[in-house]
Amino acid sequence: MNFFFKRSVTIACCVIMAGTLFGCALQKTGNDDPSQGMFAEDPNISKQSKDIIRVGCFKAEEYDYWNDELKAMGAELYNNRVISNYQARNYDDMEQTWEALSKSACLMNKGRLVFAPDCIYTMNEMEDADLKAMLESKEIDLMLTFGTEAGKYLTENADKIGYDYMVFGAANTVASGILKSETERYNDRSFAQIDTGETRRPIEAAYDMFKFRDIGVVYEDNESAYVYSGIDHLEEMSEKYGFNIHRVFVDESDGPDDDERYYTELKAAYDKLQPDIDALYITNATMDDEMIPQLISDMIDAGVITITQVSEEQCRLGALMYLTVANAEEDGQFMAQTIEQYCKGTPVSKLDMVYVVEPRLYLNYETIKRTGVKVPMTAYLIAEEVYTAEDMP
What are the residue ranges spanned by the domains of the chain?
47-195+328-350, 200-324+359-391
**Phi, psi (5° rounding) for residue 149?**
-60, -45
Q: How far is CA 106 from the centre of its chain?
A: 23
Strand pairing category for 105-106 and 83-84: antiparallel
Q: In terms of Cα–Cα distance, which of 281, 91, 317 is closest to 200?
A: 281
Percent helix, percent strand, percent coil in the chain, to nearest 5: 45, 20, 35
Q: Count of residues for the chain? A: 393
Same topology between domain 47-195+328-350 and domain 200-324+359-391: yes
Three-class SS state of 202: helix
| Contact in structure between 112 and 77 (CB atoms under 8 Å) | no
Three-class SS state of 388: coil
Q: Say yes or no: domain 200-324+359-391 is CATH 3.40.50.2300.
A: yes
In DSSP notation, 4-73 reads HHHHHHHHHHHHHHHHHHHHHHHHHH-SS-TTSGGGTT-TTS-GGGSSEEEEEEEESS--HHHHHHHHHH
**Angle, helix 259-273 to helix 292-301, in steps of 10 degrees:** 10
What is the distance between the alpha carbons of residues 169 and 65, in angstroms, rounded to a whole number?
A: 8
What is the distance between the alpha carbons of residues 326 and 338, in angstroms, rounded to a whole number?
A: 17
**End-to-end Cα spacing for the chain:** 99
Q: How far is CA 162 from the centre of its chain?
A: 21
pLDDT along the chain (393 residues), means of 10: 39 39 35 35 47 91 89 92 86 93 84 90 94 93 92 93 90 78 83 75 87 95 81 90 96 89 95 96 84 95 93 92 80 91 88 78 95 92 91 86
Q: Class of 47-195+328-350 per CATH?
A: alpha beta
Using CB atoms within 10 A of its CB, is residue 360 exposed (0-12), middle (13-18) or buried (19+)? middle
pTM greater than 0.85 (yes/no): no
